[in-house]
A and B are shown apart, each in its own frame.
Chain A
Amino acid sequence: MTDASATQPNPSSQLRDIWNQFRTHKGALFGLITLGILILAVLIGPYLWVPEKLTVAEAIKLKNQGPSLRFPLGTDQLGRDMLSRMLLAGRVSLAVGLVAMVIAIVFGTFIGILAGYFRRLDGPLMRLTDMFLALPLIPLLLVMVMLFRDRIAGMIGPELGAFTLIVFAIGITSWMATARIVRGEVLTLKEREYVLAARSIGAKPNRIILRHILPNVVSPVMVAATLGVAEAIITESVLSFLGLGFPPDFPTWGRLLFDGLQYMQVYPERVVWPGLAISLTVLSVNYIGDGLRDALDPRIRGR
């Protein structure tokens, strides 16, 4: 996607500037490539690596194996191939992690900017934020699932329904920190000279926000986004743990990590693989965020 904008002639030279700057950032490239590989692996991996079909009795004899040619990542306590489970799990975890993060970040930034910029909205929006922060998470999720699971599943099928509900549930319960951080930044930004100057020449609020405020809150938002991916992947495993997530035979990284926990001493690789996958994802999102931040900063870009 970003590649396309680089190779094709782009009408907006600013976007190209950003990409050029981004490209020179080694960490950002590493992050982009790693994340790309991960996404590619989970998308096409399950078609390339098809585990052999074993009956239960055969599989049980092969349980808890270490890595080998036959099972590159070993097998689990039921003799299932870990590699294929990791690949399948990655689909869900990456999708949930990235989508839920985007929802939380977009919503949080939106609320934060509104509250910070428009004094009249500040009170009501921040009190709403306080309320969401104060609501006990587990009962909230239980109620949401009880009210909506069957309805959504009826509309778009059980698996897509579970995905929508989980992404929505995670998104709606994790935007508050972003909102408060963005608001805090906006409160100081809007008193800065260049914003005052823009306002004095009669610039409209939406233009001021887009041109002057938004680019300057990018860096805390990027940090929140990095944290958000990790949090979403882990929260998904907590949801499954409460029976609110995907059906129990649907692996996710968070769940594999959790399931491997009780075997940690005997078969440590069981927790290493999912842990590594989550860490890699978060690390690459972080570096992409770093690169974007630098690329968006005109002072750095000029150097």
Chain B
Amino acid sequence: MLTFTLRRLLLAIPTLLVISLVIFLLVDLAPGSPMAEIPLTVPPDVRQKMIEALGADQPVFVRYFLWLRQFFWVEPASLIDGWFGTTLAEGEQRILSWQSRSPVFTIIGQRLPQTLTVIGTAYLVGILIAVPIGIYSAYRQYSWFDQAGTLFAMIGFSVPTFFSGTLLIIVFAVWLGWFPTKYDTQLVVNDWASFVKQIKQMAMPVMTLGLANAAAISRYMRSSMLDNMGMDYVRTARAKGMSERTVVLKHVLRNSLIPVVTVIALGIPAIFGGAIITENLFGVNGIGAALIGAIHANDLPMVQTLAFIFAVLIVLFNLIADILYGLLDPRIRYD
């Protein structure tokens, strides 16, 4: 397993380099320009000057290699400078967003906390709701609980978040007045009152996303459990006089987790990627909102950096999923 992991990690480097180039070319090829959001009152010659000042008129490979250098050398160096007070990156140009002219990593740093808290919590809540529902639905297939769970799950993913989110706002913010509609990113949690405030402002986005996540995961959990319930080993285990609890939670669950692990591993990078619509709706302004804003403004350095970090996480978590497969089912061998 160790050699497998090492080999995969080594292989990840060329893979990621290729992915970064493809992303770069793709974003560059996409129609639109960094001037898209500049008012029409700004005349063409001024626009041209602004594009030149951004360096957006340079050939695509020049910009790609500049980005590579900045990402792999300047940014780590300036991080080390920040920690140890060295001057490794002095005079070097960090990756600057075209839209805001701020360093991209500063923006990510500003946004990561709310993305991780809100989207991460929503994901966790989703898993915590989905796994028990999925297990029990499968165990009591076609019971009223299973039917209700099915209905809940179907509604959960057939209703898009832009709809469920708006509905929550109208009910809980406008009619009941319980929760704020706009997330305050500046809130510092340092006492009970501010903690309550944080919980309140997280409630609606977490519900919106949690519902969507729970719906999908519970369906995979249920179907996979069902597949295993009828297996011979389950009958054997029962025949041996094991308690139902041990049979279901130990044997069936363990063998049913592979698709669920895959789905969760696919979902975790998405936590970093944020949730574009939900973040926008509730003003969470995390990574997802940054990405969509950057795409609309054709902010290439920002899109490229975010998409690349996203790619790293995907490759990493898919590797973790593969390792987990091996742990869940020792028969799986990669070598």
Binds A, one of B17-25, B88-96, B124-132: B17-25
Determine whether the beta carbon of B219 is less than 8 Å from that of A257.
no
Q: Residue on A with the closest CB to B261?
A: A184
Determine whether the beta carbon of B160 is less than 8 Å from that of A134.
no
Which residues of chain B (83-102) have a CB below 8 Å from chain A?
A: none
Determine whether the beta carbon of A264 is less than 8 Å from that of B29.
no
Q: Which of A135, A188, A192 makes the CB contact (< 8 A) with B26? A: A135
On chain B, the residues within 8 Å of A222 by CB distance are 223
Can you list, as one digit per residue, whether each of B227-266 has a CB less than 8 Å from chain A (1) or not (0)?
1001000000000000000000000000000110111001
Which residues of chain A (137-176) have a CB below 8 Å from chain B?
A: 138-140, 142-143, 146, 176
Determine whether the beta carbon of A184 is less than 8 Å from that of B325.
yes
Q: Residue on A with the closest CB to B333?
A: A191
User: Is B61 an interface residue, CB under 8 A from the partner?
Assistant: no
Q: Which of A135, A180, A188 makes the CB contact (< 8 A) with B318? A: A180
Determine whether the beta carbon of A184 is less than 8 Å from that of B310.
no
Binds A, one of B38-46, B66-74, B148-156: B148-156
Binds B, one of A42-50, A69-77, A223-231: A223-231
Can you list, as one digit per residue, whether each of B154-192 has a CB less than 8 Å from chain A (1) or not (0)?
110111101100110010001000000000000000000
**Chain B, interface SS category:** helix
Q: Which of A134, A283, A300 makes the CB contact (< 8 A) with B307? A: A134
User: Is A126 an interface residue, CB under 8 A from the partner?
Assistant: yes
User: Is B207 an interface residue, CB under 8 A from the partner?
Assistant: no
On chain A, the residues within 8 Å of B262 by CB distance are 177, 180-181, 184
Can you list, as one digit per residue, whether each of B304-330 has a CB less than 8 Å from chain A (1) or not (0)?
000110110011001001000100010
Determine whether the beta carbon of B318 is less than 8 Å from that of A227.
no
Q: Take A127-B15, A265-B170 as given contacts and tell me if A134 and B311 are in contact as well, using a CB distance cutoff of 8 Å.
A: yes
Determine whether the beta carbon of B158 is less than 8 Å from that of A135.
no
Binds B, one of A2-10, A14-22, A54-62, A273-281: A273-281
On chain B, the residues within 8 Å of A187 by CB distance are 258, 325, 329, 332
On chain A, the residues within 8 Å of B314 by CB distance are 130, 133-134
User: Is B216 an interface residue, CB under 8 A from the partner?
Assistant: yes
Determine whether the beta carbon of A286 is less than 8 Å from that of B150.
yes
User: Is B202 an interface residue, CB under 8 A from the partner?
Assistant: no
Determine whether the beta carbon of B223 is less than 8 Å from that of A135.
no
On chain B, the residues within 8 Å of A226 by CB distance are 154, 219
- Size category of the binding interface on chain A: 35 or more
Determine whether the beta carbon of B291 is less than 8 Å from that of A297.
no
On chain A, the residues within 8 Å of B258 by CB distance are 184-185, 187-188
B223 to chain A: closest CB distance in Å? 4
Determine whether the beta carbon of A139 is less than 8 Å from that of B30.
yes
Determine whether the beta carbon of B266 is less than 8 Å from that of A223.
no
In the bound complex, CA of A123 to CA of B307 (Å): 22
Q: Take A134-B310, A278-B158 as given contacts and tell me if A139 and B259 are in contact as well, using a CB distance cutoff of 8 Å.
A: no
Q: Residue on B with the closest CB to A188?
A: B329
Q: Residue on B with the closest CB to A219?
A: B223
In the bound complex, CA of A133 to CA of B11 (Å): 17
User: Is A136 an interface residue, CB under 8 A from the partner?
Assistant: yes
Determine whether the beta carbon of B263 is less than 8 Å from that of A279.
no
- Size category of the binding interface on chain B: 35 or more
Select the residue from B223, B226, B295, B333 with max chain A CB neighbours within 10 A: B223
User: Is B31 an interface residue, CB under 8 A from the partner?
Assistant: yes
Determine whether the beta carbon of A130 is less than 8 Å from that of B15.
yes
Q: Residue on B with the closest CB to A280?
A: B158
Determine whether the beta carbon of A142 is less than 8 Å from that of B30.
yes
On chain A, the residues within 8 Å of B318 by CB distance are 126, 129-130, 180
On chain B, the residues within 8 Å of A130 by CB distance are 15, 19, 311, 314-315, 318
In the bound complex, CA of A140 to CA of B18 (Å): 16
Determine whether the beta carbon of B331 is less than 8 Å from that of A188.
yes
User: Is A282 an interface residue, CB under 8 A from the partner?
Assistant: yes
Determine whether the beta carbon of A134 is less than 8 Å from that of B23.
yes
On chain A, the residues within 8 Å of B31 by CB distance are 142-143, 146
Which residues of chain B (1-31) have a CB below 8 Å from chain A?
A: 11, 15, 18-19, 22-23, 26-27, 29-31
Determine whether the beta carbon of B158 is less than 8 Å from that of A279.
yes
Determine whether the beta carbon of B27 is less than 8 Å from that of A180.
no
Q: Residue on A with the closest CB to B221?
A: A223
On chain A, the residues within 8 Å of B23 by CB distance are 134-136
Determine whether the beta carbon of B154 is less than 8 Å from that of A220.
no
B228 to chain A: closest CB distance in Å? 10
User: Is B303 an interface residue, CB under 8 A from the partner?
Assistant: yes
Determine whether the beta carbon of B219 is less than 8 Å from that of A227.
yes
Q: Which of B26, B159, B223, B263 makes the CB contact (< 8 A) with A293? A: B223
Determine whether the beta carbon of B295 is less than 8 Å from that of A139.
yes
Other than the known A127-B15, A184-B321, A187-B332, what 13 A-B pairs have Cβ atoms closer than 8 Å?
Answer: A130-B311, A130-B314, A135-B307, A136-B27, A185-B259, A187-B329, A220-B220, A222-B223, A223-B220, A226-B219, A265-B170, A283-B154, A286-B154
| 18 cross-chain CB contacts under 8 A | A131-B311, A135-B26, A136-B307, A139-B26, A143-B31, A181-B263, A184-B261, A191-B332, A219-B226, A220-B220, A257-B160, A258-B162, A261-B166, A264-B170, A278-B158, A283-B154, A286-B219, A299-B230
B contact residues vs A (CB 8 Å cutoff): 11, 15, 18-19, 22-23, 26-27, 29-32, 142, 150-151, 154-155, 157-160, 162-163, 166-167, 170, 174, 216, 219-220, 223-224, 226-227, 230, 258-259, 261-263, 266, 269, 291-292, 295, 303, 307-308, 310-311, 314-315, 318, 321, 325, 329, 331-334
A contact residues vs B (CB 8 Å cutoff): 27, 119, 123, 126-127, 129-131, 133-136, 138-140, 142-143, 146, 176-177, 180-181, 184-185, 187-188, 191-192, 216, 219-220, 222-223, 226-227, 230-231, 233-234, 237, 254, 257-258, 261, 264-265, 271, 275, 278-279, 281-283, 286, 293, 297, 299-300
